[in-house]
A and B are shown apart, each in its own frame.
Chain A
Amino acid sequence: MKFGILVNEGPYQHQASDSAYQFTKAALENGHEIYRVFFYHDGVYNASRLTVPPQDDRNIVTRWSDLGKKYKLDMVVCIAAAQRRGLLDENEAKRQGKDADNIAEGFRISGLGQLIESGIQSERMMVFGD
């Protein structure tokens, strides 16, 4: 079955991203397909390349990146939510005249239409949030 995943909270502050990750991983390991993982609200922070958690803790960002790489996941960060919160990819940084970008490997920034499209194309939409 084809799933769409929506992550509405940032890493560490709330368990939503952890739960979404465990669900996504279990779905993939059981032969299901993930059409897209969409990061919205503070969920965009899951894509910050500059995250440095303590060594004895999980690294939520690289964990998503690794899962994305392994299964070729489409991991999309909402551009409007990201810009508000200081998350930029290289192109956006240039366009907005900012001196740095911070999107981690495997994530891409795009519009909210990608969430709606995920709802249309997926057979189930799972929401993880606060």
Chain B
Amino acid sequence: MEEEVIKKFLYVNRKAPYGTIYALESLEVVLIGAAFDQDVSLAFIDDGVYQLKKDQQTSVDSGIGVKDFSRTYRALEGYDVEKLYVDRKSMEERGLSEDDLLVDVQVFDEAQMAELMEQQDVVLSF
């Protein structure tokens, strides 16, 4: 019987939503990847923290005319993607706190984030 391989996948999100498509298409990879039963973590660093800002308001028919995909982050739990880590420095220097974020995350300091990165098999950066 073939042994099942479980690898540690880390998705590193460092870009703000809407200005470019990276945040949305990164999320699409995460959703597809969830079906593969790997050990998945998401890191939000730099402007990537803005992806998780509460109260994003836009739709195809209003505002900037772009789909609001932010609610998908809340659906991740249903796909067993539950390890979301936010870089404390990135969050704080943007004037945000955990209360501003639309999902439960773990806020990591540098040493914790560095350790998380070091443990990974596959790091996909967007």
Contact = CB atoms under 8 A, between A and B. Distances in A.
A120 B5 contact: yes
Contact of A41 (B5, B25, B36, B122): B25
A116 B29 contact: yes
Contact of A119 (B22, B28, B124, B126): B124
A115 B9 CA distance: 12
A120 B8 CA distance: 9
A119 B122 contact: yes
Interface in B86-126: 121-126
A112 B7 contact: no
A115 to B, nearest CB: 6
A81 B25 contact: yes
Interface string A108-130: 00011101110110000101010
Interface residues of B, number: 19
7 contacts: A116-B9, A119-B122, A120-B36, A120-B122, A125-B123, A127-B123, A129-B126
Given A115-B33, A127-B123, A129-B125, 15 more contacts: A8-B126, A40-B25, A80-B28, A81-B25, A112-B28, A113-B36, A115-B124, A116-B29, A116-B33, A119-B121, A119-B122, A120-B7, A120-B38, A125-B124, A129-B126
Interface of A: 4, 6, 8, 40-41, 80-81, 111-113, 115-117, 119-120, 125, 127, 129
